[in-house]
Amino acid sequence: MSFSHNKPFIKLIDKLTERIPLLGKILTSLFGFQEWTMLELARIIEKRFKINALYILNRYILKNKWGGRVITLNTSIASEVRFLPSQEIIEILSRSNVTGIANCYCRETQRRYNEPNCTHPLRTCIHIGTGKSLYDIPFKSKNLKKVSKQKVIDLLERCDQEGLIHQLIYYPNPNFYYVVCNCCPCCCIILNRFLRYGSPQMVKSDFIAETDTQICINCGNCAEWCYFGARIYLNFHLELKPDFCFGCGICISKCPQKAISLKLKGTS
């Protein structure tokens, strides 16, 4: 999946990375090395000149090749659904050579400058190295600590309960990622900017949330946690908009009746 927009050069990069995965990994690593600098520079420009620098950077320079791919916890997926291991976040992390947890840039920056911030945990970024040592993890994460896979799983489940969206942050296309972020719409750059402006790009997961109307009591809890507008509760009536669903699975943990499950697209 890519955002080539019929541009020959971008299509060429996508084809090359598909044929030579190592090239994609190299580009991903190089981008990861300078991501913190890019975000900080965009923040400074936006604050000083009152322009949407990140939108301009991503659309005209990065050509929409940077963004987030929504992923789900395996505990949110209906047990009868069979799917590929690559579609399950725990499997993705278990196959990673190096995994460590560091502070979220977005929340840390807001708190540093005393801007309005949320109360979600600060240490929620899971960095993935392509090599076999911590040296391969981007240098920007000075507070990075290597942890056990179980602690990573515990963090993901905690973030799931807090209503955070799990994303693979990618470059140069959604198949190459360098970090797993747990995002909230109030301060996280990719999710916040996507909801407001549509850029950076966000890619839907391979799943969609379905509701058992015979179990649903029409309480509207799920709609309060749906950031993408796939669930709207108005005049005591729940309206479902499947085309808007990103398959994040947050609504599942918030349903008191357990009436929602994630289904692999095309299997319903």
List the CATH number of the domain containing 245. 3.30.70.20
pLDDT surpasses 50 at 235: yes
Where residue 221 falls among pLDDT bands split at 50, 70, 90? Answer: very high
Q: Say whether both 84 and 133 belong to one domain.
A: yes
**Residue 135: CB atoms within 10 Å:** 9
Flag whether 53 is in a domain: yes
Mean pLDDT over 240-265 rounds to 93
Where residue 130 falls among pLDDT bands split at 50, 70, 90? Answer: low
Q: Can you say whether the dihedral through the CA atoms of 149, 20, 4, 50 is positive or negative?
A: positive
H or E segment and range at residue 84? none
Domain-terminating residue out of 151, 177, 203: 203
Q: Say whether both 46 and 103 belong to one domain.
A: yes
Where residue 11 falls among pLDDT bands split at 50, 70, 90? Answer: confident
Flag whether 3 is in a domain: no
Q: Say whether both 61 and 178 belong to one domain.
A: yes
Q: Say whether both 195 and 165 belong to one domain.
A: yes
Question: What pTM does this model have?
Answer: 0.84
Flag whether 2 is in a domain: no
pLDDT surpasses 50 at 174: yes
Q: Which residue has the tokens 């108005």?
A: 234
Which pLDDT score is estimated for 83? 65
Q: Is 82 exposed, middle or buried (0-12, 13-18, 19+ CB in 10 A)?
A: exposed
Its domain, for residue 227, covers: 209-264
Domain-terminating residue out of 183, 203, 223: 203
**Residue 164: CB atoms within 10 Å:** 24
Mean pLDDT over 112-140 rounds to 68
pLDDT surpasses 80 at 122: yes
H or E segment and range at residue 264? strand 260-264
What DSSP designation does 40 have? H
CA distance 247 to 231: 12
Looking at the structure of the chain, the number of domains it has is: 2
